[in-house]
Every structure is written in C-alpha cells, then in structure tokens.
A = this chain, B = another copy of it.
Amino acid sequence: MEAILQFFDNNLLLIYLLLFTIILGFEVISKVPSVLHTPLMSGANAISGVVIIGAIILIRQAAPDDYWTLGLGTLGVVLGMTNVVGGFAVTDRMLEMFKKKK
C-alpha cells in the first residue's frame, strides 16, 4: 500500500497524463458517425504499431553478436512495420471514397 502511494506521489504527473490521455481517447471518438467505425478502427490499429519504436531501440542497443535478440528484434520490426504501413495504407484506401465532390 505504502509502495503504491509512494509510486502515486512520485509519478503524479504521469498519472495525470495517463488519465487525461484515456479521457482524451474517449472524447476524441465519442461522436464518430457509424460510417467511420471501420476506418477509425483501422487508423487506431495503425497507431498501435508504435510498438515498433521499442523494437528499433532494442536492436540499436543489442550487442552486434547477440543474434537471438537481433533476430527476434528484427522480427518485431517486421511485424510492427507491417502493422504501421499496412494499417495507414489500408485506412487511406477506405477513406478514399469520402473524397469531396467538385
């Protein structure tokens, strides 16, 4: 308990930030017309590919002969990059049909 409170006091700003981000996440979506559900899901999915940054950092800091880490890390990069590029591209294709007329 003490530890948790300690953590709370020490990371107060982080917690504010987390909570506000969550609220912001809710807010930002809360009035989306249902026609946009799928593109929005797809766009959010692309953003979740941000995890690739972790993989990049991992590889950059791994020993050049640590093939295990390098291999798995590269796998992570491949997976993450697929998610990011594919996600944004697919969202863009879906949204093409919203092009304004005239």
Which residues of A line the B interface, CB within 8 A?
Answer: 13-14, 16-17, 20-21, 23-24, 27-28, 31
Indicate if the CB atoms of A17 and B24 lie closer than 8 Å. Answer: no
Taking A20-B20, A27-B27 as known contacts, 6 extra A-B pairs with beta carbons closer than 8 A to each other, sorted by chain A number, are A13-B13, A13-B14, A20-B21, A23-B24, A24-B27, A27-B28
Query: Which single residue of chain B is at the shortest CB-CB distance from A27?
Result: B27
Complex CA distance for A31 and B24, rounded to whole angstroms: 14
From B20, B23, B28, B31, contact of A17 by CB (8 A):
B20
* Chain B residue with Cβ nearest A21: B20
**A20 contact set on B, CB distance < 8 A:** 17, 20-21, 24
